[in-house]
Every structure is written in structure tokens, then in C-alpha cells.
Amino acid sequence: MHIHILGICGTFMGGIAALAKASGHRVTGSDRNVYPPMSTQLASLGIEVVEGFGPEQLDPAPDIVVVGNVMTRGQPVIEALLDRGIPYASGPEWLTHEVLRDRWVLAVAGTHGKTTTTSLLAWILEHAGLEPGFLIGGVPQNFGESARLGRPPFFVIEADEYDTAFFDKRAKFVHYRPRTAVLNNLEFDHADIYPDVASIERQFHHLVRTIPQAGRIVWNAADARLRETLAMGCWTPLEGFARTGADGAHWTASAGASDFSRFEVLQAGRPCGTVEWSLIGAHNVDNALAALAAAHHAGVPVAQAIGALGAFGGIARRMQLRGEVEGIRVYDDFAHHPTAIETTLDGLRRRAGTQRIIAVLEPRSNTMRMGVHRATLAPSLAGADEVWLYAPPDLGWDAAEVVRALGSRGRIAAEIDPLASDLAKSLRPGDNVLIMSNGGFGGLHGKLIAALQRRFARAQAGHAQQQAAGDERGTDR
């Protein structure tokens, strides 16, 4: 079967492409703004990707078109699809019918931490020899891919609350019918889809309604909005987690290191073992507790799961060290919501100590570009010593007000290349540069590292010339 995927380079749709390819189908797709890691993954799979959304890509007609939620009415390929009567489905619909139908689905939902928790859960099951299938909105280092079919019965999926497609405005996660569901947290986001947080709570409750009595809901017992959501009605056993403890928290933790790279796990108050791992930050302790609880429901002993966490290698674009030049470390992170920005900075601060942290932020998500979070953006960046805010001309709101709120710590840039150049000139050994965006940020990471390499190469060359000139003068005397 020939499957053509519209919007193939998004992390979710790229995962769909990988699963379809592994199922033996011929897979092609199209998109705009292609960037790693998904572009790299698709190329390695031999999946042909065309640029843009012209109608000619439907000649000859594929057997089915899988439509990503980036697609809208009015786009030429969509109008041709409908006019010609070619069969089509949304990504979640195709996934449910073709992959999830006979699986024990473990779904991870929440405003923050979905990718990390899903990756941790998949790795725990893998470490236990269960070979789960998975679809993750990132690339875990332990797997090197964002999706795979795996071996039945288990399939782990990052369960997004964003809408499904232009013809299906329900949240993606209502399609998945999980037996084990993780609810990490619930905050207002996706302002382009939802008018308020109450509408997001209703979507989460739609998910709750699909989980069987024989299943399990693992939830953040410290989250008031999740508590409100479950109070709307719940027919499934609950198991709470909360790092610092809360009413209903069955899984808790006791910190053993200030940056949370080591902590003790407690189940119903009973110590179960100590996690020592490469991740940092209090938020990742919550993610770990959620993954441990979900894996326990799937039958993995707690001690075995704790051992798996110690071997977890991290995720691309989640506090990923992209390079180090003369003691200047450049990190890449997906944070794009004030809460995630604040917790990410807190984790890095706990590791960096008194070293400088330079935060570089691209307000790229639809919610950010609408200016919804601008009042809380400056406070969320308080943990940085210096902040560079990328504000292109089409941002849609005045980023200068955020920079003014940051005082002397704030900088603003309208173009990528000058940003990389100016930033490289200002950095000094020992600095930690945290680049945050939910997109490719115009290749800023690589441009900054290259600019730093050129700067120090010139400095070293100049020093060598001075040394040579000094030696020559000494000979003349």
C-alpha cells in the first residue's frame, strides 16, 4: 500500500511514517521547514519527502493520505484530495486502526514532560526485555529513533492534547484508548486551539472516560487542575505521584543531590531504591516517578525499573549538550512554555552553581507568537544571568516589554546570524548557553558553535604570531 503523509516532518507524523514503513508500506510525504532530528530520521529510512503542498504530489494517487494537523482547508493539496475523493485519515486515526488496536497502550499526557516521561517508560520496558513499540515526540538516545513497532503487547505513546486534523477537532489522545494512562500536569497552552484552561480540562476528561476499569491512571497528585479534572468523574483505579508528597501520592521521592541527579524512590512511604542518572532538575524526578508507576502497572518490578533509569541516555533536544568550545557549553532544549523554561533553568542552575547561564529563547510556538505568555515570560527567565530574546519582525507582539522587564540582563535580536555573532563575542570560558525553542531556531546552535570556534582560532593564531615575533626579537638581540 502507498501511504502519503502530509506534514510528515512533525515529530508525531514522522513517527507515523516510521511505523508505516516498518509495517511494509511504501511511504512518501511532504512538508515545509524541514529540520533535524526528524529530517535525519526520514532520510535514514529512505522515505521520499517533497517540499510544499502542491496538488501534483497526489499524481499518481496514493492508496491513502494521512493528514497532519498542520494542514488546513485552502491548501492546494487538501482541495485536490477532497475533490478527487482519495481516501484519507488523520494520523491518530490511522495509528489506532493499524497499530494500537490489539496492544496494551501506555499513554503519557500532560502540558509538560510528555516526551521525557514517554521515553523513560519505553526504556524501562525495553530494559526489562519487553521490546515495546513506541511513538515519542523526540529521539531518545537509548533508541536512536522516535518510533518503532516493537513486539506485542506493549505500545508506549506520547499523548498530545493538540487537535487531530482540520476535519477532527478532538484532542489526539482520545483516539488511543490506553489501558495505562499517565497524567503529568495540566496548564493553559495551545491558545490557538483552546480559549481557556477549562476547555483543556474537558479534553483531559474525555481521555479519562476512555480508560477501562481494569486499567490504571497514574496522575500528579500535586496538580490542582488534574484533581479538578478527575473530580468530573473517574471509573479507573488511580495511583498518584508527587515528588514532595501530596494527598493521594503513592509514589514520592527524597532528594539525594541538589541537582536531582540522585534521589531515593518511595512507594507508599517505603524506600525502594536510589536513582543515579544523567538527568537533572526537580521536574525530571516527577517524570521518573510517573514512568516507574506506569511500568509497575505493566508488571516491571520497581528495583528493575530503577536500574533502567540509571542507564537512560537522555533525549535529543532536552538539555542536550550540542558542543563545548574553550569551556563554553552550548545546550539545546525544547522548552517553550514559561513553566518549562523556569524548571529547565532551575535544573541547569543547580548543576552550574555560580557559573553564568545565558538563556537564548525563540518564542516560536503558536501560543508564544500570540503573546499569551508575555506577562509571565520575564519571571520565568529569572534564573538566567543574561537573556537573549529572538524577536523577528513578524512575531506579532512587542518583545521589548519583556526585555525591559529583564533590566540589564535582557537583550533582543531580530536576525539569527547577527545573534550568533554578537553572542559569540560576549561569551567567556565557563559560560553555559541554554538555547530554547520548539523548532530549529534557524540553525543557531551550529552557527554559534562555529562562531566560537572561529573566534578562539583567531585568538590562538594571534597569540602564536605574537610569540613568534617575540622569539625573533630575542634572536636579533
Q: What percent of the chain has pLDDT over 90?
A: 77
Band (pLDDT 50/70/90 cuts) for residue 107 is: very high
Separation CA 94–CA 167 (nearest Å) = 14
DSSP code at position 388: E
Task: Output the pLDDT for position 59.
Answer: 96
Q: What percent of the chain has pLDDT over 70?
A: 97
Q: Which three cell numbers stand for residue 172?
A: 489526539
Band (pLDDT 50/70/90 cuts) for residue 459 is: confident
Mean pLDDT of 385-397: 92
Mean pLDDT of 415-437: 95
Cis peptide before 271 (omega within 30 of 0): no
Separation CA 288–CA 291 (nearest Å) = 5
Task: Output the pLDDT for position 246.
Answer: 85
- Given a cut of 90, whether residue 55 has pLDDT beyond it is yes
Give start-end residues of each CATH 3.90.190.20 domain in the chain: 320-459
Task: Output the pLDDT for position 150.
Answer: 97
CATH topology of domain 2-92: Rossmann fold (3.40.50)
289-319: pLDDT as tens digits: 999 999 999 999 999 999 999 999 988 888 8
Task: Output the pLDDT for position 382.
Answer: 92
Q: Which of 120-129, 148-157, 171-180, 346-355 has the lowest mean pLDDT?
A: 346-355
**Would you say 305 and 130 are in contact if contact means Cβ atoms under 8 Å apart?**
no
DSSP readout, 165-213?
ETTEEEEGGGGS--SEEEE-------TTT-SSHHHHHHHHHHHHHTS-T
Task: Output the pLDDT for position 10.
Answer: 87
222-249: pLDDT as tens digits: 999 999 999 999 999 999 999 987 899 9
The pairing of beta strand 2-6 with beta strand 64-67: parallel
Band (pLDDT 50/70/90 cuts) for residue 475 is: low
Sheet holding 48-51, edge to edge: 48-51, 26-31, 2-6, 64-67, 88-90
Task: Output the pLDDT for position 79.
Answer: 98
Band (pLDDT 50/70/90 cuts) for residue 192 is: confident
Task: Output the pLDDT for position 274.
Answer: 97
Task: Output the pLDDT for position 125.
Answer: 98
The pairing of beta strand 238-241 with beta strand 147-148: unpaired
Is residue 353 classed exposed, middle or buried when 0-12, 13-18 and 19+ CB atoms within 10 A define those classes? exposed
Amino acid at 63: D
Task: Output the pLDDT for position 300.
Answer: 98
Separation CA 142–CA 144 (nearest Å) = 6
Domain 320-459: homologous superfamily in CATH: Mur ligase, C-terminal domain (3.90.190.20)
Give start-end residues of each CATH 3.40.50.720 domain in the chain: 2-92
Mean pLDDT of 89-107: 97
Task: Output the pLDDT for position 372.
Answer: 84
Task: Output the pLDDT for position 476.
Answer: 57
Task: Output the pLDDT for position 440.
Answer: 84
Mean pLDDT of 348-365: 93
- Find cell 538516545 and name the residue: 141
Q: Which three cell numbers stand for residue 300?
A: 516491571
Band (pLDDT 50/70/90 cuts) for residue 284 is: very high
Task: Output the pLDDT for position 473.
Answer: 63
Band (pLDDT 50/70/90 cuts) for residue 37 is: low
- Nearest residue to 2 via CA among 55, 39, 57, 51: 57
Give start-end residues of each CATH 3.40.1190.10 domain in the chain: 102-310
Across the chain, mean pLDDT equals 93
DSSP readout, 262-280?
EEEEEETTEEEEEEE-S--
Band (pLDDT 50/70/90 cuts) for residue 396 is: confident
Q: How many CB atoms lie within 10 A of CB 108?
A: 33
Domain 102-310: homologous superfamily in CATH: Mur-like, catalytic domain (3.40.1190.10)
Separation CA 423–CA 72 (nearest Å) = 38
Band (pLDDT 50/70/90 cuts) for residue 465 is: confident
